[in-house]
Structures are given as structure tokens and as C-alpha cells.
Structure 1
Amino acid sequence: MKPALLMASRTRYALPLSTSLARKFDALGEVLDVHVLAAARRGEVHARDPRFTLVRPSPALDGPLFYLRFPFLVAGALRRRRPDALLVQGAPETALALLGRALARARTPVILDLHGDPGAPTRLYGSPRRRLLSPVADMLARYAVRHADGVRTLSPFTTDIVRGLGVEPAAEFVAFMDLDAFSERAPEPLPPRPELLFVGVLERYKAVDVIAEAWRRAAPQVPDGRLHIVGEGTMRELPERLVTDFPGRVRWTPRLTTPEVAAAIDASTALLLASRSEGLPRIVVEAFCRGRAVLGARAGGIPDIVVDGENGLLVPAEDADALAAAMVRMLTEPGLAERLGGGARRDVERWRATPEEHARRTRELVDRVTGVGGRA
């Protein structure tokens, strides 16, 4: 029989699954007996799927309540399902899952699925009050990495984090990303008027403040240049002020559908990603599919995928002067964006993974950690 895998996280799902998620879980189901313990999107569970146990959101304090319940939810799932392995996304979640395993008195191997810097959520996301939780989050992350039965990483950046804690990852491989909307047609030529595009949440970890300051310094040097910001978040006042201060040259779009993101990339000269922290940034792969270079920060996993002078430009993180200079170069230097965009298009294949490839690597990971090829 196929090994049984319980996947646990605070990822929010809506049922029925989207087409891309259905492809992912259908492929996983071909090689593993998968069950998912996760969170439900508020108001969006409209069907039942026997593969999923989704925790409905609480009216208030949804996040803290979910994490308080998480060890007990994991313990209950381990007792009922007796999986061959438990794969948990996130380091703090894995530490809580290890507590759940102890509560269940189970011996199920626990695998940490690490997608980024485990210290970033408390330091760089949301309210500044979350930073008070950083010492606890750091302690949980160290415990998870050192006590999990295996760790899966996405890229050299996350692998280095794990090795820095004295642990060798059991596997490093990229996740399946549905890139059909970005790959189904050939890239468009660069737009006649130079434009930079940012797509992401308007939070501190995305360095929206650095982008705004850099644009103020770069814009006078590129009179015909434009900036398009796509996203929502707690730092929305920054794009609001830019739109007011640079009429006709800055656009802010709170939300776009996936096809609309592809169209926005086509309308841009290059993508901006000046984040203070990133795992393996999906938006970069999407921009590469559309033949667009990336102007990024040397932070997190961005240098894993953006190579300075080959498929983009890299600048020091949180350096508005360096970012402004690179903005001016990208928008004014003849042939630069086109040459780097060609390099981006050539490099995209390195970061593609089909659902079947992702499922195969996940099965190999489970087999490696458990030594079990199936249940009797």
C-alpha cells in the first residue's frame, strides 16, 4: 500500500479546490495516501473533500486560537489516522506538532517543511506588537529544526538556515507552482514607456517603504518612467501618497486576478522585489516566464534565483539609494532590460516543477525519513 502522509499547517483552503491545487493533490494521491489538516478560508468552504480536515476560523483571535488548538488537533489526527509520516509546514507549527505527537504517544516521524526564514513572521509581518513574540518563535524554530525527524527545504537559502542550526536537510526541492497563466503564450515585447512593477502584500517584510523612498529619488531622473504597485496590507498609506505626489506616474491596484497579474507583468519593463525577507519568491518565477528581469534585494532567497547582471539586478537590502540607482539603470540604459529579460526567460526552467515531479520528490522524502515503502 501507499505510505500514509498527514500534512498539517495553517494554510487556508477553500473547497472545492482550485484547479491548480486539485492537480497538486491528485498527483500526491497517486503516490501517497494523503490527508490534510489545515485552516478554512473564512466563508469559503462550500463542499466536502474526504482528504481535508479544515478548522473553521474563529470570530476573534483566529490566529492565536488556532495555534493553541494545533497540538491537540495533531494529536487527534495521529490517533485516528495512524499515518506513516507527518509533514508540517513552518517551524513553529512543527514544534507544536511535536508536542501533539507526544500527547498522542505516537512514534510517527515528523518532517519540517521549511519555506522561508522562520524568524520573519514575528519580526517583519503585521503589527509591531508581533515582534514581542520573536524570542518565543526563535526558540520554537530551533527546537523544530533540531528535533524533527527530517527537514525539507526549498532552496539554498533555507538549506543554509537549517545547516546553521547543525542539521542537514533530508531533501531540497522546489514546490509545484501553477504557471500556466504565465507560460501559455510567448512573452510580449517591452512596453514603449518604461514601467516598474511591484506585486505583493504591503507589509514591512516586502520593504514597501524602501521602494517608496527609492522611487522618490529615481523618478526625477526618469521623467517618462512609471511605477505600478499591486497589493494590499497595513502599509497602504505609502502607495496612496505616491499616487498623490506623482499623478499619472504611479498606479496602485489593491488586487488583481492571476491573468491580470500576467498582463501587468507584460505591461512592465521589470519587476521590483526589494524584500527584507523572502523564501523562494513565486512572483520572480512568474516574471521570468514573461521574459521580465527582476530588480531585487540581496535578502533571503532572492539571490538564489536572481543573478546580478544575468537575469536581473541585485542591490543591498534596505538601501534606498542603491535601489534608486538601479531603478534608473533599468529604465534608461539602452538594451539592459531586454538583455536581462532574455536571461530570465532562459532560467525559468530551473524553477519549474510539475505536480507529478513534486509528488515524486515528496514520496522520496517520506521514504527516506521513514524507511517505509507502504503500510501492511
Structure 2
Amino acid sequence: MTEPASKSVLFLSYIASQKTGLYRLVTEELIDRLPALGWRTMGASGKQNRLLRMLDVLLTIWRLRREYQVAHVDVFSGLAFIQAELSVGLLRLLGKPVVLTLRGGNLPAFSQGHPRRVRRLLNAADQVAAPSDYLRDALRPFRSDMVMIPNGVALQSYHFHLREKPAPKILWLRAMHAIYNPTLAVEVIARLRRRYPDIHLWMVGPDKGEGTLENVKTAIAAAKLEQHIEIIGGVPKAQVPAWMDKADILINTTNIDNTPVSLIEAMASGLCLVTTNVGGIPALLHDGVDGLLVPPADAEAMANAAVRLIEEPGFGAALSRQAYVYAQRCDWSVVLRQWDDLLLRVARGASGGGGSER
């Protein structure tokens, strides 16, 4: 059998931008950036249909088995967890070293409902990484030696400017899906319009097609906010910094989350952040230091936080400055080296399953 190239890795996840041209997952960035450190990278799958994607992933594992030294698998909850289980099972049969990365803020809840499956999967890997202390700590009972590597951002792609006097120019940046609760953003603007007649909100993010976009449009019309809220839709990743430049405040209305890259990108841009305190977000932001945290589904609390940023002298600027300090730790120049070290260590030293069943 032909030996795979030194420093070669197969990434198994949803390669979304292949089809949409829009947002890129962290895994896609790794596929493009690791070759600069001598890695040959491969990836699957860009199939949008879940069943076809799963089949494509498994076929790719087999078809390219002589070409990669180590495999990396993203782990999501729900039906996507099955894809990770099948992928790792086939990789183990092939004798391939495996790195897992925990993705998705719902994994802690999923693990409580399926503890044996989660334990079995995590301990079948040679190493497990998490993008936040939140996910690592939540799943520590299933495997204790997980490592934390933050989501990376290209700091030079974002135009940092200090928001010394934040204006009521607000950005919402997520997918149009119920878990991100975009209708809360409409409620917030409805409350703030009374105080700031010139307020404006840009809602940037692709429609997931499950009815949320229609609900948002209905809420805008009911509140007569058509002159104050623009629904932009999905945009290419390269255009995100320009939309961030337009605003002074970012509101994140999600009900479930891990450590969203959009928040780190906003920090790199100097935006003042107001976000719900769900999932791993409290581990990312320190309330009153580099962002403001509010309870989920609380329009009044989120509106009050925005008022504080706009009207309290020096407060918005202090948060903007501290947020940028944190973002510097997540620059790809730092994060990529951590991935290089981890993958190289596993590729050279793994012997087929690093965890112990507990």
C-alpha cells in the first residue's frame, strides 16, 4: 500500500461554502490555511442533503485512504452525530489516527440524553479538541484530556476602529433560523425607536428556509419598522467586514450557542457587543468588560444594554477596546500553530484510540 504524504489530513465536515459561496466554517479555513505550514489537506463534503453528505463522507474516507495520514472529524449533535460515529468507525477499521472537534452549542444537552454514545465516540479518537472552555468543561465527564483551541479569525481582514461614541447603528449577523431568534432583534429595535428616531438595523445572514425569515418580515411590518430595518440576506465572507464597518453595535439574540465566530469577528472590528448569555458565550465575553450579557428572549434587557452603550460616556469605547484585545488571541497566526502542533502530534504518535472507556 502506498504511504500517505507526510503531514496530510482529511477533514470531514459540512463544507458549506462550496455550494453557497457564503459563510465559511472554521474547518474550511483550516483546509485552506494549513498548506502554508506544509500540510496536504483534503475535505468532504459539500453535499447539502444530509444522507448524500453522509454517504459522500464515507466514500471519501475509503477512496482517499492511501492519501491522508490523519483524519479530523467535526462533531455536531442530532442526526449529524451519526455521521461522526460512522466516520470514526470506518477510520478505526482503516487504522487511521483521528482528531475530533466539538461543534455546536447543543452538544452538552445531547450528551445528557445519549451519554453512552458520546463517551464511546470521544474515547475512540486519538485526541479531542473544543473551541471553547464551555464545551470542553461540559463534556469533560466523558473524556478528561480534551484540549481547547479557539476559533480563528483573520485579524487583518477586519477594520478595527474604536467606537468612542456608539451611535444607534446596529448589526445582526446570524442565519435566519429559530434557534438564533431574529424576531427578538425586531422587538429590540421597536423599543429603541422611541428613543432614537434615526435608529437602523442591518440583518445579515442566509435564510435557512424553515419559516423564520417570514416571521421576521411579519414582525417588521406589524411594528412599522420598514424604514429602520434592512434584511440583507447571506453575503460572502469577504463582505462581512464592510457590514461591520457600517455599525457601532452588534446584537446577538441566539437561544443556543457555543462560541460563535461572528462574535470574535465583531470584536476584531471594534463593535460593541450585546448578546444573550447562553451556551459558551459567558466563557467568551466578560459582562461589562468586553461585552454586555443579557438573558435570552428579553427584549427589554437587550434594549437597555444598547442604551447604556450609546449614552454612558466612555463605556462603549472601553468595551470596544477590550474586545479587540481578546480578538488578538484568536488570530490565525496564533491558532494555526496550535492546530499544526496537535495534528502533527497525533499523526506521529497515535496508536488507535487515545481515550479510555469510563
Q: TM-score w.r.t. structure 1 length?
A: 0.75
Q: Is 2:165–2:316's contact at 8 Å kept on the other side of the alignment?
A: no
Q: Quick check: 1:230–1:256 contact (8 Å CA) kept in 2?
A: yes
Q: 2:303 aligns with which of 305, 324, 328?
A: 324
**More displaced stretch, 247-256 vs 212-221:** 212-221
SS at match of 1:112: strand
Q: How well do the aligned residues superpose, as a CA RMSD in angstroms?
A: 3.6
Counting aligned pairs with the same residue, the percent is 21
Of structures 1 and 2, the one scoring higher in RCO (CA 8 A, sep 6+) is 2
After TM superposition, the structure 1 = structure 2 runs for residues 94-243 of structure 1, keeping only pairs within 5 Å, are 94-101=84-91, 105-117=93-105, 119=107, 141-164=118-141, 166-183=142-159, 186-187=160-161, 193-233=167-207, 234=209, 235-243=212-220
- Where does residue 7 of structure 1 map in the other structure? 11
CA separation of 1:352/1:295 partners in 2, compared to 1, >3 Å: closer, same or farther? same
Moved more, 107-116 or 322-331: 322-331
SS of residue matched to 2:329:
helix
CA shift at 1:182, angstroms?
A: 0.7
Name the one with the larger strand percent.
1
Report the secondary structure of 1:323's partner residue: helix
2:186–2:220 CA contact under 8 A, matched in 1: no
More deviation, 24-33/290-299 = 24-33
Q: 1:228 to 1:25 in 2, by over 3 A?
A: closer
CA contact under 8 A between 2:201 and 2:229: conserved in structure 1?
A: yes
| Residue in structure 2 matching 1:73, options 60, 83, 87 | 60
Instruction: Give 1:33 shift.
Output: 4.5
Shift of 1:24: 5.1
Aligned-partner SS, 2:129? strand
Segments of 5+ residues of structure 1 without an aligned counterpart are 41-56, 124-133
User: 1:26, 1:229 → 2: CA distance?
Assistant: 28
Query: Does the aligned pair in 1 maintain the 2:272–2:309 contact within 8 Å?
Result: no
Count matched residues: 333
Asked whether the 8 Å contact 2:106–2:256 carries over to 1, the reply is no
CA 1:192–1:367: 2 relative to 1, 3 Å:
closer
Instruction: Give the Cα–Cα distance (whole angstroms) in 1 for the partners of residues 150 and 166 of structure 2.
Output: 35
Secondary structure of the residue aligned to 2:13 is: strand
Q: Distance in 1 between matches of 2:131 and 2:293?
A: 21
Conserved? CA contact 2:15–2:43, under 8 Å? no
What TM-score do the two structures reach when normalised by structure 2?
Answer: 0.78
AA matched with 1:174: P
Superposed CA deviations along residues 176-208 of structure 1, whole A, max 9, x for unmatched, are 42333314xx51656785122101111122121
Residues 1:260 and 1:14: Cα distance change in structure 2 (over 3 Å): closer
Instruction: Render the CA deviation track for 1:218-255: whole Å, top value 9, x for unaligned.
Output: 43344343322122323112442354311322222113
Change (3 A) 1:338 1:88: same
Counterpart of 1:44? Answer: none
SS at match of 1:6: strand
**Structure 1 residues 11, 257: closer, same or farther in 2, change over 3 A?**
closer
Structure 2: which 5+ residue stretches go unaligned?
A: 351-358
Per-residue CA shift, 1:290-340, capped at 9, x if unaligned?
A: 221110111123223222111211012233332232233334434432332
CA 140–204 in structure 1, closer or farther in 2 if over 3 Å, else same:
farther
Greater shift in the superposed pair: 3-12 or 311-320 = 3-12
Query: In 2, distance between residues paired with 1:319 and 1:156?
Result: 25
